[in-house]
């Protein structure tokens, strides 16, 4: 590998280097963890923020977007976090448990720790894990993520998070909302390990409350789906936001397991939802959905790699994007099929609806297949709203704005309905309506 | 109720002239049949009544209930009482049929200053009228027209029409793609809607629909013009002799 060429730091990069020096002593972790943080910070210092000449960030130039590095958000009290939560609407009256991360660190007071324990779910502070013997294991990243800049930023600055362990065979009765709460402005960097043990069933709702101002939000969700386990994760990022929203999924899926995920992005000026998913056991299924809406000059990016490293697994990737004004949408999806991963079934589809004449979609679905006995397909479409459909609805008396709403909702609903999680279907539909009405 | 005066229209995109001076007056309570060979402009006329943007009116006017129809948006026309049963109803994936029906009915009610229907009232209405037209609950549970057969689509159109209770029903080749039984069911549905306050324009290529929906007036459209108007016996004559006579006349 070539040594990275030294770069001229942007203001944000210089700020990040200074931020790291300032916070390093106060960040959690064993000596091994600190070494990983140092290496990640060194990477940022040497190569800068990911930018358009890095293949994976070709359309998503974080370096150009980030004008400065806001300080990390200071620790928040329970009362402060609670008051933000009280004014936060996520899933309305849905019966659910809650786990709260406030300004990047776990808040046990506001979390349903005891009730979850009774259901076989333990929730512990990520920072306790980082300080422990195997702390560095919590920061492990998969090979396919390479030198990913978003992950490096997370590793360097991670303030905390949770480790959620669902015990063998547990079937948790309610979904669990894992909410990242921002109290005051500032960058939020957290990491969460979710372990769903053998035969367990778990539904996770990932939400984001409060306003980080210009500070970036960088959250890693690291899932271990054991043999025979089922995990459904819904990531809901809705509402206007000035700072970059950077989300990373790392998932390992054991044998006979099911993993379902839907990433919903609507509103932020700059959002990237990236996922690195690998099958580690046979006869498993991953269904990955994306629902993306952007307007103004905003950017929303859904990027993923699904690694079929073992035979007999199915994956489905279905992404829908609606862009208005001069917004930019990005879909980069890759299915890897290893040489021995026979009988892989992969079906990837990305569809974009352009409402604004200046809107642009970069659709890049890819297959990298090294096995011969597989069934893999990919497709991409991009178009405007169908005038005949619109006319049909209007001819029945539905006013134009409402007809458009119905059609956008219909377009996005295909992904929401295939995701097929009753607990979120209605709320996500309401979010689409809210976005359209805004 | 409806008066079309010297209507000329062309395709907006390429300027091809389709309608070349149509005059048609329809009173409340009347059923007018518009017949004519393929390509004579029957669907174009129906689309222009409903407000499709693909066509540009270059001359003439359409007065509906004393108002200038051409000044109204498609949804305004619907709320004012115009209903077009499409020749080719399109499938709308992702829009649930029931949701669509409720949205359309309430949108029209709202435009007319009426209160929204309650869910039970709405359900009751749909159930009763769907049963009449042999539209099954299974069809209503599907997205709009998706996976419907040709005949099911036509029955669904008439169901919409009977729920929306328009004052002007425009039926564009509602008989095409229907077998005898379906034709009877659809015709009964249409006949139920005949009333002194309501007018109908029944567009068809064949006479057989007019055995079931008996018209008061029959017009022959050829090359964008009405070339002959008569009573219901005109349809029978056309059935026997074909359009050849009239196609010649208009040329
Ligand atoms: N949107 C359109 N674009 C292009 N040609 C059209 C369009 N609509 C109608 N036409 C043409 O106009 C003529 C009349 O069509 P139409 O009104 O559908 O006739 P009919 O319903 O009597 O069969 C035909 O030659 C048809 O091809
Ligand atoms: Mg026609």
Give pLDDT tens digits along chain A (438 positions).
Answer: 455 556 899 999 999 999 999 999 999 899 999 999 999 999 999 999 999 999 999 999 999 999 999 999 999 999 999 999 999 989 999 999 999 999 999 999 999 999 999 999 999 999 999 999 999 999 999 999 999 999 999 999 999 999 999 999 999 999 999 999 999 999 999 999 999 999 999 999 999 999 999 999 999 999 999 999 999 999 999 999 999 999 999 999 999 999 999 999 999 999 999 999 999 999 999 999 999 999 999 999 999 999 999 999 999 999 999 999 999 999 999 999 999 999 999 999 999 999 999 999 999 999 999 999 999 999 999 999 999 999 999 999 999 999 999 999 999 999 999 999 999 999 999 999 999 998
Spell out the residues 6+ positions from residue A332 whose beta carbon is closer than 8 angstroms to its own. Answer: A56, A59, A301, A302, A303, A304, A362, A364, A366
CB A210 within 8 A of CB A240: no
Nearest to A395 among B50, B105, B143 (CB): B50
Mean pLDDT in residue range B93-106: 93
Contact with chain B for residue A413, Cβ under 8 A? yes
Q: Pairing relation of β-strands B92-96 and A97-102?
A: unpaired
- Nearest CA owner, ligand 1 atom 8: B44
Taking the C-alpha atoms of residue B202 and residue B218, their distance in angstroms, rounded to an integer, is 9
Taking the C-alpha atoms of residue B11 and residue B132, their distance in angstroms, rounded to an integer, is 38
Contact with chain B for residue A397, Cβ under 8 A? yes
With an 8 Å Cβ cutoff, are A397 and B104 in contact? yes
* A293 lies in some domain: yes
SS3 label, residue A413? helix
Query: Domain B2-250, what fold?
Result: Rossmann fold (3.40.50)
Taking the C-alpha atoms of residue B27 and residue B3, their distance in angstroms, rounded to an integer, is 9
Give the per-residue pLDDT at B244: 79
Nearest to B74 among A395, A406, A409 (CB): A395
* A397 lies in some domain: yes
Write down the domain spans for chain B: 2-250
Helices B180-192 and B119-132: angle between axes, nearest 10 degrees: 130
B224 lines ligand 1 (CB under 6 A): no
Smallest Cα–Cα separation from A369: which of A351, A332, A343, A349?
A: A343
ipTM of predicted complex: 0.95
- Nearest CA owner, ligand 1 atom 17: B41
Please state, rounded to an integer, the average pLDDT across all residues of chain B.
Answer: 92
State the residue range of the domain holding A109: 69-437
* A29 lies in some domain: no
How many structural domains compose chain A? 1
Give the per-residue pLDDT at B251: 39
* A58 lies in some domain: no
Q: Pairing relation of β-strands A105-107 and A121-125?
A: unpaired
The number of C-beta contacts closer than 8 angstroms across A and B is 76
CB B32 within 8 A of CB B46: no
Strand partners, A274: A248, A303
SS3 label, residue A297? coil
Give the per-residue pLDDT at A412: 96
* A10 lies in some domain: no
Give the per-residue pLDDT at B245: 76
Mean pLDDT in residue range B104-116: 92
Mean pLDDT in residue range B46-71: 96
- Nearest CA owner, ligand 1 atom 27: B39
* A51 lies in some domain: no
């Amino acid at each position: 590998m070539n040594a990275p060429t030294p770069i001229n730091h942007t203001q944000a990069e210089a700020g990040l280097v200074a931020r790291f020096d300032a916070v390093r002593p106060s960040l959690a972790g064993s000596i091994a963890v600190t070494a990983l943080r140092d290496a990640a910070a060194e990477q940022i210092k040497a190569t800068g923020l990911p930018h358009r000449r890095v293949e994976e960030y070709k359309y998503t130039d974080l370096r150009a977007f980030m004008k400065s590095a806001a300080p990390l958000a200071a620790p928040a009290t329970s009362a402060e976090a609670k008051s933000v939560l009280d004014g936060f609407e996520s899933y309305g009256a849905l019966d659910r448990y809650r786990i709260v991360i406030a300004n990047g660190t776990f808040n046990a007071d506001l979390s349903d720790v005891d009730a979850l324990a009774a259901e076989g779910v333990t929730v512990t502070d990520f920072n306790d894990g980082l300080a422990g013997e195997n702390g560095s294991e919590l920061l492990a990243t998969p090979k396919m993520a390479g030198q990913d800049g978003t992950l490096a930023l997370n590793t360097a600055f991670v303030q905390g998070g949770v480790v959620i362990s669902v015990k063998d065979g547990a079937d948790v009765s309610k979904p669990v909302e894992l909410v990242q709460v921002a109290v005051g402005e500032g960058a939020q960097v957290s990491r969460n390990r979710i372990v769903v043990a053998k035969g367990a069933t778990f539904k996770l709702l990932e939400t984001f409350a409060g306003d980080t101002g210009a500070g970036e939000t960088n959250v890693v969700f690291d899932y271990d789906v054991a043999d025979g386990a089922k995990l459904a994760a819904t990531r809901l990022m809705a509402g206007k936001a000035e700072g970059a929203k950077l989300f990373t999924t790392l998932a390992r899926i054991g044998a006979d397991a099911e993993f379902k995920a839907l990433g919903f992005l609507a509103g932020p000026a700059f959002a990237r939802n990236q996922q690195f998913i690998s099958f580690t056991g046979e006869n498993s299924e991953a269904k990955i959905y994306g629902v993306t809406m952007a307007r103004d000059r905003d950017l929303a990016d859904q990027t993923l790699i699904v690694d079929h490293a073992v035979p007999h697994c199915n994956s489905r990737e279905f992404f829908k994007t609606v862009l208005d004004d001069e917004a930019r949408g990005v879909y980069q999806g890759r299915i890897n099929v290893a040489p021995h991963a026979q009988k892989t079934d992969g079906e990837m589809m990305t569809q974009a609806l352009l409402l604004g004449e200046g809107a642009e979609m970069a659709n890049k679905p890819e297959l990298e297949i090294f096995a011969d006995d597989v069934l893999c397909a990919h497709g991409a479409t991009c178009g405007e709203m169908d005038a005949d459909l619109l006319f049909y609805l209007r001819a029945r008396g539905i006013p134009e704005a409402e007809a458009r709403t119905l059609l956008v909702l219909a377009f996005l609903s295909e992904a929401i309905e295939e995701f097929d999680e009753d607990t979120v279907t209605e709320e996500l539909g309401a979010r689409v309506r809210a976005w359209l009405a805004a | 109720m409806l008066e079309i005066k010297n209507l000329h229209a062309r395709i907006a995109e390429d300027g091809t002239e389709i309608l070349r001076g149509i005059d048609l007056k329809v009173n409340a309570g009347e059923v007018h049949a518009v017949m004519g060979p393929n390509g004579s402009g029957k669907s174009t006329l129906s689309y222009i009544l409903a407000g499709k943007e693909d066509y540009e009116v270059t001359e003439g006017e359409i007065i509906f209930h004393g108002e200038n129809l051409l000044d109204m948006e498609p949804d305004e026309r619907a709320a004012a009482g115009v209903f077009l049963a499409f020749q080719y109803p399109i499938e709308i994936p992702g829009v649930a049929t029931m949701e669509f029906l409720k949205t359309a009915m309430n949108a029209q009610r709202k435009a007319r200053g009426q209160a929204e229907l309650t869910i039970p009232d709405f359900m009751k209405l749909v159930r009763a009228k769907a049963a009449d037209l042999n539209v099954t609950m299974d069809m209503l549970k599907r997205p709009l027209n998706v996976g419907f057969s040709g005949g099911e689509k036509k029955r669904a159109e008439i169901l919409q029409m009977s729920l929306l209770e328009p004052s002007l029903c425009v039926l564009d080749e509602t008989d095409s793609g229907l077998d005898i039984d379906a034709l009877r069911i659809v015709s009964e549905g249409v006949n139920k809607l005949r009333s002194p306050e309501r007018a109908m324009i029944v567009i068809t290529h064949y006479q057989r629909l007019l055995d079931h929906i008996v018209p008061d007036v029959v017009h022959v459209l050829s090359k964008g013009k009405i070339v002959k108007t008569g009573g219901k016996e005109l349809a029978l004559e056309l059935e026997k002799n074909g359009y050849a006579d009239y196609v010649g006349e208009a040329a």
